[in-house]
Amino acid sequence: MDRDGSVIQEAIRSLLSAMANAALYSMGHPQVVRLAESAYKGISAALGVSPQISLTVIENELIINGEPPAFSLALNRFAEVLTSRGIGHVKFMEGLGREEISALIAGLAGQRDGGVTLISGEHIRLGQVELRDGEENNGESSAASGGDIDLRKMPAEELTRFTEIYEALKRRQKMKIAGIVDIVSGFIAAFRREGEARLVTATMRSDEEYTFTHSANVCILNLAQAMSLGIEGQMLHDIGIAAMLHDIGKLFVPEEILIKKDKLTPREFEIMKEHPVRGARHLLETPGVPRLAVVTAYEHHMKYDLSGYPDVPAGWRPNLCSQITMISDFFDAMRTQRPHRDPVDLRTIVSQIMDLSGSNFHPVLARNFLTILKRMVDSRRS
C-alpha cells in the first residue's frame, strides 16, 4: 500500500479509538482530544495530496478511494460502526476543520447530548450506498475538458476518436491517453445531463464496430455502477478510463482467433488468455495511464473466486474497479452478436448473473448491477 493509503488507515484507526473512548467518557476527555487531533491531522495530510477521501461500505467491507485495503480488524470494525449508524458512504473534502471531526466522532459514538447529530457538513458528507438518478452534480467538476456530448451524436463522435487511437496502436504508435480521457469526460457529462437510466438504455444499441461499442458500453455500465456506490471525482474518471482500456490486450491477439466462429482450440484459448497480461504491460509502459487501468486490464477475467485468469496467489483480492468491470464486460458481451453465437436474451443474462453471483461476481456488486438493470428496463417501458 502507498504512503497516502497508510496515512488514511492510521487516521481511521484514530477515529475508531476516539469514538470508543468518547462512548465511555466525554469529548473533553484528554484521551479523546488526543485521538481526535491525531485523526484530524492524518485525514488533513491525506487531503493535502488528494482533494477528497471516499470511504464506502460494501458488504461490511470498507473501500477506501475505490480500493479495498488489506485486511484489518480496525477497518472492519469501523465499517461495522458506520453500518450500525445507517451510513454507507463518507466523503472528506479539502478544508476539513477540527470541529467537524469532533462532531463526527461524537455522533458516531452516540453522544447526542448538546444537540450532536450525525448529519453531513460542509467538508464531511454522509450518505447511504444507494442508487441515484444520476442528475446530481454535487459540485464536482470533470477532470478533463472533454465537453458535453449530445447523446444522439455520441456513437459517431466517439467512434471516430476511438478508432483513431486504436489504429495508431495497431501501427505500434504510442497511445494518446488524452483522447480516452476526453471520451470518458464526455460520458460523465452526458450522465449528469441525461440521467442514469437514459444513458444506460443507450448501451442497448448494436453497432458493427464491436471493439468501440463494447468498450464504450462497458464504460457506461461501469460509470453507472460506480456512481450508484457514491464514487465521484477523479476516481470516477479513472474507473471509466479503465473500462475503455480493459480489453486493450486483444490488439496483440491474432485477428483470426478473435473472429473465429468455431470453438477455440486449447492452444488458441491459451493465446487468448494472454491478453490481460499483455494489455496491462502495454498500459504500464504508456505515460499518463492511471494505475487503476493497468490493474483492471490485468484482473478483469480473474473472477471473484479467482477461478479465472491469469493465475494469482491464493488470497489475492481483485480491485473494486476490476470487479465492477467483470460484470459490465460479461453483460455487454452476452447481449452482443459475436462470431461464434447469437445475442442472449435479457432474461437469460439476468438469470446467469444471479447464478454466477458469489463465484464469478461479487454478490453485492452483482445485486447492485441487477437493480440498475431493472431501472433501465423500467425506463424503456415508461
Percent of the chain with pLDDT over 90: 29
157-195, pLDDT tens digit by residue? 555 656 666 666 666 666 778 778 888 888 888 877 776
Query: Residue 4: pLDDT above 80?
Result: no
Task: Quote the CA–CA distance of 40 and 218 in Å, as a whole number.
Answer: 38
Residue carrying C-alpha cell 482467433 = 257
Is there a contact between 277 and 362 (Cβ–Cβ < 8 Å)?
A: no
The closest alpha carbon to 227, from 296, 138, 119, belongs to: 138
Sheet of 124-127, strand order: 61-64, 52-58, 89-93, 124-127
Query: Residue 222: pLDDT above 60?
Result: yes
The closest alpha carbon to 348, from 330, 362, 360, belongs to: 330
Environment class of 370 (CB within 10 Å of its CB; exposed 0-12, middle 13-18, buried 19+): middle
pLDDT band with cut points at 50, 70 and 90 for residue 321: very high
Nearest 10 degrees: Cα torsion 57, 61, 64, 67: -120
| Phi, psi torsion values for 68, nearest 5 degrees | -75, 125
Q: Where in the chain is the domain with CATH 1.10.3210.10?
A: 154-381
Q: Which residues pair with 338 in a beta bridge?
A: 341
Q: Which of 123-137, 312-326, 358-372 has the lowest mean pLDDT?
A: 123-137
Task: Quote the CA–CA distance of 318 and 152 in Å, as a whole number.
Answer: 35
96-117, pLDDT tens digit by residue? 999 999 999 988 887 544 434 5
- 288's CB contacts (< 8 A; 6+ apart) are 177, 178
CA-angle at 361, arms to 245 and 318, nearest 5°:
60
Mean pLDDT, rounded, for 58-70: 76
Mean pLDDT, rounded, for 213-220: 86
The CATH classification of domain 154-381, taken from the options 2.60.120.1440, 1.10.3210.10, 1.20.140.10, 2.60.40.420: 1.10.3210.10
Cis link prior to 310 (omega < 30° from 0)? Answer: yes
- Cell numbers standing for residue 349: 443474462
